[in-house]
Structures are given as structure tokens and as C-alpha cells.
Structure 1
């Protein structure tokens, strides 16, 4: 049972009064925590009630500290404390942290924190515990190494094509145990960031997609239950128990090594000056990013019905024909680099084109490359005569049009959506937009370096996703404080004056 949800305005009033008292006793410490307090002062939990309330029954002992636990977890990552158990004890024994989190009477124990996180994860926790106790086959670390920068290939060919067909027909089965955490990000911070105008143009959003390795804190060796050791056999392959049954072997293309854990898939708005993530998904380490992309595209349209996604930016892992078909279905422009293994073939007949160069740019009958002039829907990619664009008179043998505007041709992406995307890869527009893909890499850096989510040595996909979620909340809060230029200490000093 969920006790009454305290309005944010009451939390703010109480926080101001409590901090005025602490200011008289430990002013220097209050100043050192100014940004952390500012973040929680701005974090309005009122919109979260419809997301959290269905997780609790209408009967039983009431839960009274759920809002405080959310603030406490945000503060824990902000302060980079790497243990929920130790952090819960620290908050309970520190009156300042206790009041910042907004707790009443008694601070919750570590068990209450874990119980809350379990509720946010829709996977069956009992099944997870049974999987930890169950003896499983030992899978050793793969020996074959991939090439530098190479992604781990999909297990089965044609999987993306099948999933895209289901997605287009509205029949994609998408069990998502982290859906509550995704809604937590959406309703708690992304909606507010959108209203503040720091996401970019909500009617023309560019989103960058990328997967990042998330190492498990558990050992991949597991716990042996056999008696091989007593017989002098130390390198056996017998079945054993694993403390992290969710972890799998995957290839870390950045470090060029195999890792044991999960893949954290991140979607970031690339036009935002603050590189703000809007969607996370935790998948198996062996899953290819192109498969996760199909589910992610469907999810962001459901979670954010008021946002219009117009540009999709990704690396060569998503460079496949079904993904282009899916993007066309959603009316999203693709900005995807060609897979390094692609061997381009430009043998499409056109009456005004001599041939294509190795990048897919058309060459006129006079041997001069056409100039890309944007996308004209529904005609296709527009190209103009090089001489007309540069204001020069073409030579007599090359003059194929009497118009000052010059010869114009159109290449329809339907010929080959990968080779001829609506915005040509060689154009300045494509290059400029694709450079913004680094926004998703910077947001990953914020989670894994600035907030050090791997330092918690989490041993389940639930904990890894939870830590990443509260790191994303912190990233948005950092942007709010910077955008508003807000300081809590300055604010209460002005109120007291």
C-alpha cells in the first residue's frame, strides 16, 4: 500500500526550513552540497505518482518513504557512494542527508531500497533468485578475437528483417521488464527538459542510438558445486552456480576484448546542448545493436507520443536494409554510416547520368559531378549542375541545359535506400548531422565515468538498469541547474534577507 504522495511544494517548504537550521550549524558543508541540494529542490516527483502507484496493492502496511528513497538514490549517485547498504546507514546517521532526502521520522533500511528497486523491475524476482541457485552449464571465455572496431555479428541471419516486418504490422512482441524505469526517466525528467526547451525542437528531434558495454560485478567462473578439487582437478568444466545469471559474454569493440555482463542501449537527443539521454534498454551482451534498434524505435514512439523524431543517427551496426525500411515507416531520415564491409555497387541506369562515383554521387554526361541540393519529397534526392551552382558558364561541349538554374536530376532512394539515403552521405548536411552522433558517446561517458555506475559491481540486469536510470536523472538535473543558473544556498539567503 502506498501512503499519500506528498506534493513537491511541501517538500520544498520543509527543505527550506530544515536547511536554514543546518546553515546555522554547518554552513560550510551546506555550501559544499549546494549543487546536490539544488538538484533535488528542482526534482518534482508529482508526475511520478501514476507510474509508481500501480506497483503497490491497496491493502497491507503502507509504504511512507518512497519519494525519499528516490531522492536518496539520486543523491547517492551524485555523491558517488558505491554501496546501497552503506549509503542507507550513512543517511540514517547524518541529519543533513536525512533532511535533504525528505525522510520523515525514521530513515529506511537498505532492504527498503532494494524492495523499491525490485518493484520497479517487472521481471519476476523469485524466478531470478531461483536462477541464482540453479546449477548451470559453465561457458568459458571465448578465445577467438574479432578485428579492431568490429562488432559481434548476430547469432542468426534474417532476424532484423523478421522483426521489422512485425514492427511495421504492429505485431512485435516486446516484453520489457525495465518499462517502469523507462517511464521513470520519461515522466520525471525528460518531460520537464522538453518543457524547458533544452531537448531541442520537439517537432524535429534528432536522436542518436548506440549500445555500450556494462560489465558485471560478478565472476564469470561461478561457484563450483562438484568435488573435482578434492580429487586434484582444478580446471574442470562442471556445472556451477552463478551469482549473476543475467550476464553473458559479449565483445567489447572499444577495448578489443571479451566482457561478461550486459549491453546498455542508449538513445540521446543529439541537438541538445547538454547531450541528454531519453531512453535506456538493458539487453544481453551478445545481442546485436541492430536487433535492439527495432524495439527501441517502437518504444520511444509509445513513451513519447508528443515528440516527433525526424532524424536517426547511428554507426554501421545499424546499416541494413530492414532498418531503412523501418525508418521510412516512421518517416525518419536515416543518417547511418556504411558498414565497413560494404562493397558499393552503383549500376542504376539514368538517362542524364554517365555513372556514379564510389560514394554514390552522380556524374553528368560531361564527366562533372552533380552537386547535392537537398531532398525534394516525393521526387527524391535533388542534384544540380556544378557550373550553375557555382555561377559559372559551362563549356560548350558540356552545356546540356539552356536554363540558368542548370540541369536538375532526381535520384529516388527507393532504388537502394542504403546507397542513396534521402540525405546523401557525401553532402555537408549529412556530415554535419552525423557528427552529432558523438552526443550519445558523451552521455555514455557521463554515466560510466562521471557517475561511475560500473563501480557498484552490480550482479543483476535489474541493478545495472536501475543505476543507469538514476545516472540519467542526474544528467538531466545537472542540465537544469546549469540552464536555470540555480543555487539553493543563494536562494535561501535571498529568502532570509
Structure 2
């Protein structure tokens, strides 16, 4: 099969010619303007011409056989399907009955792909021979009995797992990356959407990139019981430990702290840009549902640095589920400022002689008064604290120093990055930075609510990864359309068609 692709300019010329042919009358143009203008301006600026070169390894180099569809057209059509919230079957029917959908996809009306062509395209997006990562036959995973509390995620089964992972990461001289099944999806997403968004300034400063990470439950459409392969039920044993066959063998049980219930599926861990006005994702990652967020962060963070080596990470903004000393240590090793909320269950107390420290990292003198910050060394991240009595010019009932200057205490991020982060927890700057963390929740909300991620009820890792990445691509395209509207760069459909025709001439 010989892979043939066209440039984005040729695609735009094709769209204008076909729209003039199918919707040439003033009434038809008014119909396009009323019902399809947003969709036209949403998909046509997205340059997908590099899709063929990125997916070339998924196609046979032999010249014999049927000519394949242009991968850029297939990806564009799949994005339109995701945007409109249709299934593959409904979308194939819409392509055949609504010419504008076929034209915007890059297909001539009357010559559109069938259902099998789309599923064949999906198989090429997944770098594995099967849609699952593991075998379909395994022993049943029992639903845990111990429940957590409201908004409190369960602790990992191995309390030392985060420390072990971080110590292994820090021993590596270079970032070690094992190829994953979703690598092609990430490569397409990064090349065609993330990097163009960064060039448009929609991700903030990539020379000092601020990243937010958080996980969210994604329930699978498969049953947790599996299919019996043994004859134990004939003897009355319905709770045997024999292997069963599962429609989604990669799913397992996880705790949904928001809904206070267990779910069977995966965890969607999202990395997004903190400085993006549209809360744009840069690396979506699916993990096991039972995996704790600290483990997901360590694994995903190293993969993020592998995919974006040219970016300089400046800050990591995370919630209290990530409040673990090994994570602070890893971020300090990479010269990344940690903006992580303290977990009340792990906060504890830090004492140095007769000086104690509050949960905000501020030293408290022997009489119980907070000491006053007196500046910091921005290079070594070392803060100076003075006696509140000497600064406030009042008499202390129990002075702990005979010095006229008063007692002085120094705190350094190097000594304890968890209690003494680079930005003081009691400062206004900390509050403003940590407030950006809700951006990742809005990003996940776009996936799960606006684009109805879980409505398809998929049953394989391939399905869920493709769906998550397609929605992430749509999020970037949505942002580009909003930017065009803000800058008043959108015209009517008729004027847009004239502009493209003049460019072609």
C-alpha cells in the first residue's frame, strides 16, 4: 500500500471547492453560516498534514493492495466525531447523509470510509498487537472492604513505594523511558497540538513551565466478575479462585473519594499547564485504578520530562495527596519549586530545641508567638526569622536571648523541603500560586462532563487511551477557536471561502 498525503493548503482548497459545489446557492451558504460556521472555523485551522509522516510505520511499504485513506483525513474525521459526540456507527451514517461533515473531514461526498476503516485506523494508533496490555485470563480481583473518608484518598498498599521509586529515579543519570503502547498517540498530540499551542502562547512560558497534576476515576464498561471458565458452579461453589476471562483485564478496583464508593476501571492522571487561560492538557496518562496519586505522579512526571526535554520545568502545583517527602526531594533534585498542600494526616510537628514550627513552616518562639520573617536569600532559599518582641518593640515576659537584636532562626529548603518550600506557605504568593491548582480539575471536567468521556463505556486500554487523547486534542482546538474569536479574526463563511479561493489563485 502506498501512503499518500496532502498539504494543509491543498486540504483548504479541497474544502472550498466542495462547499461551493454542494452549497453554492445563497440559501445553502446561509444554512452553513447558521448551523456549521463554528464547526468550519473549528476544524479548518488545525494543520494535520504531518500525520502521515508520523504514522508511516503503521502502514505496509508494499505498493500492492488497496490505496489507504489519508491518515490526516482519518484523524480529522475522528476529531469531528469526538467533537459532535457521536459513535463510530452514527458518524459513518452522518458522513454519508450530511455532505458538510464529509467535506470538512477531507472526503468527497459519496466516497466516505466505512466502520471497518475507522477501527482499522484505531488499531494503527495503538502500538500493541492486542487492545489490552495484559492477558484476558486472570484470577478475580476482590472488591476491597475497607472504605475511606470523604475527599480522602486511600493510602497505598506499600507505604514505602514512593520512596523506593524516587530513589530509583534519582540513581539514574539520564531519564530512562520504556516504550509504551500509547506513544504514537502522544507523539501526534504533542506535535500537532501541544507544541502549536505553546507557540501561540497558550501554555505560558515553557522556559519556566508550571505544571499541575491530579488524578480522577474513570469507570469501565466491563463487569468486574468476568466469565467463568471452570465447572465449580455445578458443585455449588460460586466463589472459586479459578481463572476467569475478562472483557477489560487491565481494569481493577479503585476508591472514588468524591463519591465515597469503589469503582472498577482506571485512573486518569492529567498533566496540564498552570498558566494556560484554557487549562490545556500536555500529557494525559491512564494508570491502574488502585494506584495512588503519588505513584502516578512519579511515573508520569518522568515521562513528561522525556516527552518535553526542551521545556524547563519551574513549578509543580499539587494537592495534599502528593504530600510525601520523596516527591519534594525529587523536585528539588530537578530544581523545581514544589507548591504542595500539606496533608493533615501526615503533617506532624517539627521541633528544634525550644523552637517549634507550625504547619505553615513558620517558627514559633517558646512563649507561643510566631516569629517575624526578615527576608530570604533567593539563591539558597534560606529564610531569616526574628524575635516578634524585638520587631514589635514590646517586652517579652520570658526573653530567650540577651541580644539587643533578639533571637534569630534560619530555615532552609535544603534542610527540609517539605516544611520549608521555596515559597513560604504563609505568604500571599503561595496562596496565589496554589489557587492555580484548580485548573487541572477544570481540565478533567472538560474530559468527563463536556465531552462525556465515560459515556462510551469502553472495554479495553486501547479504547480508553484513544478516547482520552482525542478529547485532549479537541480541547486544544477549542482554545484556538476561542482565541480567534477574541481577536476578531473570524468572518462569515462566504468571506472565508473567498479568502481561501484568492489564496489558491
TM-score, normalised via structure 2 length: 0.87
Which string of whole-angstrom CA distances, capped at 9 and with x for unpartnered residues, describes residues 325-349 of structure 1?
1111221100111123114222135
1:3 paired with 2:3, answer yes
The answer to whether the 8 A contact 1:373-1:381 is kept is no
Where in structure 2 are the equivalents of 1:67-106 lying within 5 Å?
67-81=72-86, 83-104=87-108, 106=111
When residues 252 and 57 of structure 1 are mapped into structure 2, their CA distance, relative to the original with a 3 A threshold, is same
Structure 1 residue 16: deviation in Å? 2.3
Q: Match for 2:145 among 138, 143, 146?
A: 143
Does 2:479 align with 1:479? yes
Distance in 2, Cα, partners of 1:183 & 1:347:
49
Determine the C-alpha separation between the residues in 1 that align with 2:167 and 2:200. Answer: 37
Residue 167 (structure 1) aligned to one of 159, 169, 174: 169
Distance in 2 between residues matched to 1:44 and 1:267, nearest whole Å:
24
Change in Cα spacing, 1:269 to 1:127, as seen in structure 2 (3 Å) is closer
Contact persistence 1:65–1:103 (CA under 8 A):
no
CA offsets, 1:357-416, max 9 Å, x none?
Answer: 343202357865334577534433424558799xx863466899889xx99754112222
- Residue 284 in structure 1 maps to residue 285 in structure 2: no
Listed one character per residue, the Cα deviations across residues 146-205 of structure 1 (whole Å, up to 9, x for unaligned) are 222221322323222222223221374534221221222211111111111111122222
Cα separation, partners in 2 of 1:310 and 1:2, compared to 1, 3 Å: farther
For the residue of structure 1 that corresponds to 2:286, the secondary structure is strand
Change (3 A) 1:127 1:310: closer
| Aligned equivalent of 1:116 | 121
Of the candidates 179, 182, 186, which is equivalent to residue 182 of structure 1?
Answer: 186
Could you list the runs of 5+ residues in structure 1 that have no partner in the other structure?
A: none
Alpha-carbon distance between aligned partners in 1 of 2:389 and 2:394, rounded to the nearest angstrom? 12
Q: Structure 1 pair 361/67, CA: closer, same or farther in 2 (3 Å)?
A: same
1:322-337 alignment runs, 5 A limit:
322-337=326-341
Using the TM superposition, give the Cα deviation of residue 472 of structure 1 relative to its aligned residue in structure 2, in angstroms.
0.9
Q: What TM-score does the superposition give when structure 1 sets the normalisation length? A: 0.88
Aligned residues: 485
Name the CA shift for 1:355/1:263 in 2 (closer, same or farther; >3 Å).
Answer: closer
**Structure 1 residues 111 and 235, CA gap change in structure 2 (3 angstroms):** same
Pair 1:429–1:91, CA change in 2 (3 A): same
1:2-401 alignment, distance < 5 Å = 3-21=3-21, 22=23, 24=25, 25=28, 27-59=30-62, 61=65, 62-81=67-86, 83-104=87-108, 106-125=111-130, 131-132=135-136, 134=137, 136-168=138-170, 169=172, 170=174, 172=176, 174-226=178-230, 231=234, 235-237=238-240, 239-349=243-353, 354-363=355-364, 368-372=369-373, 376-383=377-384, 385=386, 394-395=393-394
**Which shows bigger deviation, 462-471 or 299-308?**
299-308
Alignment gaps of 5+ in structure 2: 500-505
Q: Give the direction of change, closer, same or farther, for the CA distance of 1:174–1:401 in structure 2 (3 Å limit).
A: farther
Offset from partner CA, 1:255-298 (integer Å, 9 cap, x none): 11111111111001111111111101111111112112122222
Whether contact under 8 Å (1:20, 1:492) holds in the other structure is no
Cα shift readout 1:395-449 (whole Å, capped 9, x = no counterpart) = 466899889xx99754112222211212122222112111111000000000000
Shift of 1:48: 3.7
Contact in 1 for aligned 2:365/2:387 (Cα 8 Å): no
Query: Cα RMSD (Å) of the superposition?
Result: 3.1
